[in-house]
Amino acid sequence: MTDLYLGILTAADFSAAIHKYQDFASYLLLDSAAKLTQLTQMVEELSLKTTQQRLARFLLMNGGDEKSVLGFTQEEIASQVGTVRDVISRLLNLFSREGLIKIERQHIILLEEKRLQEIMQDDDMRLKS
C-alpha cells in the first residue's frame, strides 16, 4: 500500500485555480476533450458496428506480434466489446468453427487475421451462426 493525500477544492477555489494557472486550465480542457472523443468513438462503435465486428477489432488490436490474445477472461472481453459474456462465448466458438481463431485457456490464437480484418471493416460481412 502507498500513502494517499486527498484534497478538496471548493467551487470558488477551483475557479480561481483555473484563472490563475493557465497550464492547469489547459490540462483540464485537453483531458476533457480526450474523454469526449473517447466517449464519441464508443457510442459510434456500439451503434454502428455489430458485435462480431467489435470482437474482431478487439482480437486484432490485442493480438500483438505473436498473433495471440493473452490474459483476458471472456467477461473482460465482453466488457471491452460492449456486450455480455454469453455473447462473447458464442462468437468465439463461431470464430473457432470458422477457422479464424483457436481457443485455449485465456489464450486465443489468431489463425486468419485477414478474414478478421474483413469482418471488422465490412458492414455486410456476417458469419453463419
Domain ranges of the chain: 12-44, 50-121
- In the sheet that 107-110 helps form, which strands lie side by side, from edge to edge? 68-70, 107-110, 101-104
Could you give the residue ranges of the DSSP H alpha helices within the chain?
11-20, 22-48, 51-62, 74-81, 85-97, 113-121
How confident is the model over 64-99, as pLDDT tens digits? 777 889 889 999 999 999 999 999 999 999 999 999
Residues of the chain with pLDDT under 70: 123-129
- Which H/E stretch holds residue 107? strand 107-110
In this prediction the pTM is: 0.68
pLDDT at position 66, please? Answer: 79
Which CATH architecture does the domain made up of 50-121 adopt? Orthogonal Bundle (1.10)
Single-letter amino acid, residue 15: S
pLDDT at position 97, please? Answer: 96
Question: What is the SS3 assignment for 23?
Answer: helix
pLDDT at position 94, please? Answer: 96
